[in-house]
Homo-oligomer: A and B are copies of this chain.
């Protein structure tokens, strides 16, 4: 008998094993749902699969009676737009400041303590100020995401920029590069794939802030819908929405991963991920 550490499941066994916990979860849900529904047929907490199906159909296929929109899509579009803007702006800020702070010692001395402090403030506690300064519209939602995500990206990129082998910067100087040229041709191109990594890492937080912002003031969006229908405990809507958000989170991550692989072949070769 080999050691446990040396036993590797075959490909198909592995897939089956991976599916197992999901099946178990489903069965547990079904059992719980049936038990509660047997008690109270109107129970909303753990709806039967048929109710979930109805809700999905209603939200994803039929136009809403009130607005005529198909809610799932308008919500998704609204949320993704906010997320994209928030994360995009954070990435831009992160790149500019991360590169600047990581490359220019004077800037680092001046701004690094500020950025570190900012990254420690829990953005949710600052909501009232954000509202008053940025209003309640789309802007404040995007700002909340930026506020929650940008300091992290700045610090990560600053760190990465400082980790670039000093040899490379010296080498560039021996090729006659000015500070600007070093940033343009050496630092930024090497940090772009790491920016994508940082963005991927911060997507979870971005979703969180998005949902928090939409829960507080909005007229559409995935977070808005979840917190609105929570008012009447419509778990038949909440659960599919949560699954949908999870799926979207997975897809955005996948997309970024593929994009990175396409755009930065050298980076992934370097890290031994094949091509």
Contacts and interface: CB of A to CB of B under 8 A. Distances in A.
Interface extent on A, as a size class? 35 or more
Interface in A100-129: 103-106, 109-114, 117, 119-129
Interface stretch (A57-65, A206-214, A261-269): A206-214
Interface stretch (A87-95, A189-197, A243-251): A243-251
Contact of A109 (B14, B121, B128, B238): B14
Contact of A18 (B9, B112, B215, B238): B112
A21 interface: yes
Interface in A212-241: 212, 215, 222-223, 226, 230, 233, 235, 238-239, 241
A81 interface: no
B109 A9 contact: yes
A128 B208 contact: no
B110 A4 contact: no
5 contacts: A4-B104, A5-B105, A120-B249, A122-B245, A129-B238
